[in-house]
Amino acid sequence: MKGVVYFGDDDNTYDLRIFEQMRYTKKVSVWPVGLVGGLKWEGPICKDGSVVRFYTMWKPERPMPLDMAGFAINAKLFMDNPDVEMDPLASRGYLESSVISRLAGREEFEPLANNCKQILVWHTQTADPKMNQEDKLKKIGRESDPSMEV
């Protein structure tokens, strides 16, 4: 089976380039998502084609602190691991980890969106985004990368 599994959502906005990029996912591809978690963006921070850490304020201790809109999984992994499913008992925010951690490790993540420097997916709800977490990070000198266009 060829293809990827992606969990799209009706309250997101997508740049079509992310779909073109995710088509080539070997295991698990990842990218940042804009306007999520009270931040301008949330997701992996990458260097030289590898994920080095995650930019998040909400439950940063999660095994895979990724937004549902920020990853794609090669469909063959599900075929090769038919017992893998989303844990219906997973706590809020841990659903992503319940699947991804059973299919690939962080060292196997494939950064997309220009090495995770580009936002190609946004949580665009009908309400104004809340940037309260952004303000907290700014106060301690850890604000978002100002060169990141959101």
Q: Would you name the residues annotated as active-site residues? A: 96
- HEC per residue, the chain: CCCEEECCCCCEEECCHHHHHHCCCCCEEECCEEEECCEEEEEEEEECCEEEEEECCCCCCCCCCCCHHHEEEEHHHHHHCCCCCCCCCCCCCCHHHHHHCCCCCHHHEEECHHHHCCCCEEECCCCCCCCHHHHHHHHCCCCCCCCCCC
Which residues fall within 8 angstroms of residue 17, CB to CB, at 6 or more apart? Answer: 120
Binding-site members for Mn(2+) are 11
Residue with tokens 């494939």: 110
Binding-site members are 11
